[in-house]
Structure 1
Amino acid sequence: HSKLPLTTWFLAIYLITQDKNSISALELKRKLGVSYNAAWRIKHKLMQVMKEHDDNRKLANIVQLDDAYIGGKQKGKRGRGAKGKTPFVSAISLNEEGHPIYMRLSVVSCFKKQEITDWAKKHLQEKTLVISDVLPCFNGLLAADIIHGSLPKNGKELHQYEAAFYWVDTMIGNVKNSIKGTCHAIREKHIPRYLGEFCFRFNYRFRIEDIFNTLIKCGAKSPPMPEKLLTLAESQW
């Protein structure tokens, strides 16, 4: 249900999926020759489609899990307890060789046990082995029938910790740099979509030839998304 021609949508999908880095709505406006509002709607509709597509796949095997924060303009404390930051869960599944397979980045309301339990029931297969740090909220994984192991981050075991969380920590840094580099200021309520886009692109990194067709198919199946819906705060996870 769009007034834009299909060729514009196809070009937008091509630009978003084939560009090495995420493309901003402003850059999309220039390349498509449309208004900024039109480019913004296109990008957010496609990001929502990406997020919903990826959220349907549960992570399995071995999963590295960590807490993270993004956004906020306040100076001062960083990380846990920082004001104005949006908390999100970063999870990445590994194959038997320890290489990353799929990624999930989900905004959460807080890092409490029940929140992690509910998140795990939606995003992790039962009996998945999850490795996290010793943040108390991650004990909520057990209530979701997840096998949970934790590792403290301290002087004695710092090297072991860094090895165990290498991929998830790397991805947290990458997504923050990607969002900062492409979109200098995004509203907190839209962060779930930007995280969803990053995951979608990462999860298809070895299937570049499929990502274009996949997004077209998913977009065609998605329900209409009027502007009023696009501008509302998104569901977290």
Structure 2
Amino acid sequence: MSANYNLFYFFKQFPDEEACREYFEKRRWGNTPVCPHCGNAQKVYRYKNRRTFKCAHCKRQFSVRTGTIYENSNIPLQKWFLTYYLIALSKKGISSIELAKIIGTTQKSAYYLLQKVRYMFEHRSSENQLRGTVEVDETYIGGRKRGKRGRGSENKTPVFGVVQRGGRLSIMPVENTKRKTLEPIIYKRIKSGSHIMSDEWWAYTKLDKNYKHSVVKHKSKEYVRGNVYTNTIEGAWSHLKRLIMGTYHRPSKKHLSKYCAEFQFNYNTRNDSLKAKFNKIIDKNQIRVSYRKITDI
């Protein structure tokens, strides 16, 4: 299905701001508006303009944007929705320059819009533990020096990842790849008793206490031993690096976690339909994202 074909149906479903608002109301509340201030759903009045509500309990006004990523944003919902659609459609990501041309904003506005979406991905991701057979590995992003673990790392940021075979991926930048840094993440992200696959990096040597642990010996040029390999996570690293080099170039260390969160979302929804992926983005929208949060001032 071509991009133009999909975009045609996007504008057919969301021809104007009113259609976007009605769709988001349905996704957020169903048929019963809920006051975001006090949680009351028993008695809520809708004003004649159709956009504004008033809660009979706390007497405060609100709209479907209140308490969401859209609050205090001057960007129309239609442009937000089109951005989600383009993210769901693209396997290689979308740059702020390209997005600005498509939705008709400045590059700066498009950049902050994308950063808000990435922040949302980062802070509204699943906390469910991975289980079964899980591969763990780390890589380095950024910098001009090439090398193995630690070599040239003064210019690079370590990124740690865990992936359930046939399932979800979880990645995040880390301060270093020492045992005291990686083990707490593993315990949090992977269910006890799972079968962990790793290489021989020393930070993984004590996982046998809580997990079944198999090691593939890369230093001995062993990459697959029956069911023991880390090819899944290494394949994810390859895609991540091509995405960053080809679309985002060199994101700063400060913002790398947001780009990792976007890649993680796209990886975990890779088998979803376009509509399902779009709705998953919409359903994450109940988070307020201030300018300060995406710039770390």
TM-score if structure 1 supplies the norm length?
Answer: 0.86
Percent sequence identity is 24
**Residue number in structure 1 paired with 2:190:** 124
Decide whether aligned partners of structure 1 residues 109 and 156 sit closer, same or farther in structure 2, where only a CA change above 3 A counts: closer
* Partner SS, residue 66 of structure 1: strand
| More helix by percentage | 1
1:229 aligns with 2:296: no
Q: Contact 1:151/1:161 (CA < 8 Å) preserved in 2? A: no
One-letter code aligned to 1:186: P
Following superposition of structure 1 onto structure 2, how do residues 146-157 of structure 1 map, counting pairs within 5 Å? 146-155=211-220, 157=222
Deviates most, 154-163 or 119-128: 154-163
Following superposition of structure 1 onto structure 2, how do residues 13-92 of structure 1 map, counting pairs within 5 Å? 13-73=84-144, 75=145, 77-82=147-152, 83-92=154-163
Q: Contact 1:112/1:137 (CA < 8 Å) preserved in 2? A: yes
* Partner SS, residue 220 of structure 2: coil
**Could you tell me how far 1:130 is from its partner in structure 2?**
0.8
> Of the two structures, which has the highest relative contact order with CA contacts closer than 8 Å and spacing of 6 or more?
1
1:191 aligns with 2:256: yes
Describe the superposition over 1:158-203 as per-residue Cα deviations: whole angstroms up to 9, x where unpaired.
4539961221111111110011111122111111111111111111
The number of residues matched between the two structures is 224
Instruction: Give 1 or 2 for the bigger CA radius of gyration.
Output: 2
Aligned equivalents of 1:140, 1:232: Cα separation in 2:
36
Q: Calculate the aligned-residue CA RMSD, in Å.
A: 2.2
Describe the superposition over 1:42-75 as per-residue Cα deviations: whole angstroms up to 9, x where unpaired.
11111122223334232111011111111113x3
Structure 2: 5+ residue runs without aligned partners?
1-70
Aligned equivalents of 2:104, 2:272: Cα separation in 1:
29
Q: Contact 2:215/2:228 (CA < 8 Å) preserved in 1? A: no
Aligned equivalents of 1:166, 1:60: Cα separation in 2:
17
* Partner SS, residue 11 of structure 1: helix
Aligned equivalents of 2:272, 2:224: Cα separation in 1:
33
Aligned equivalents of 2:211, 2:262: Cα separation in 1:
26
* Partner SS, residue 69 of structure 1: strand
Decide whether aligned partners of structure 1 residues 154 and 45 sit closer, same or farther in structure 2, where only a CA change above 3 A counts: same
**Residue number in structure 2 paired with 1:216:** 282
Describe the superposition over 1:94-146 as per-residue Cα deviations: whole angstroms up to 9, x where unpaired.
1xxxxx32111111111111111211132112222111111111235456x33
Q: Contact 1:54/1:199 (CA < 8 Å) preserved in 2? A: no
One-letter code aligned to 1:229: K
Aligned equivalents of 1:69, 1:158: Cα separation in 2:
20
Q: Contact 2:207/2:213 (CA < 8 Å) preserved in 1? A: yes
Aligned equivalents of 1:181, 1:227: Cα separation in 2:
27
* Partner SS, residue 125 of structure 1: coil
Structure 1: 5+ residue runs without aligned partners?
95-99
Q: Contact 1:153/1:161 (CA < 8 Å) preserved in 2? A: no
Aligned equivalents of 1:146, 1:232: Cα separation in 2:
37
**Residue number in structure 1 paired with 2:204:** 138
* Partner SS, residue 159 of structure 2: strand
One-letter code aligned to 1:37: K
**Residue number in structure 2 paired with 1:97:** none
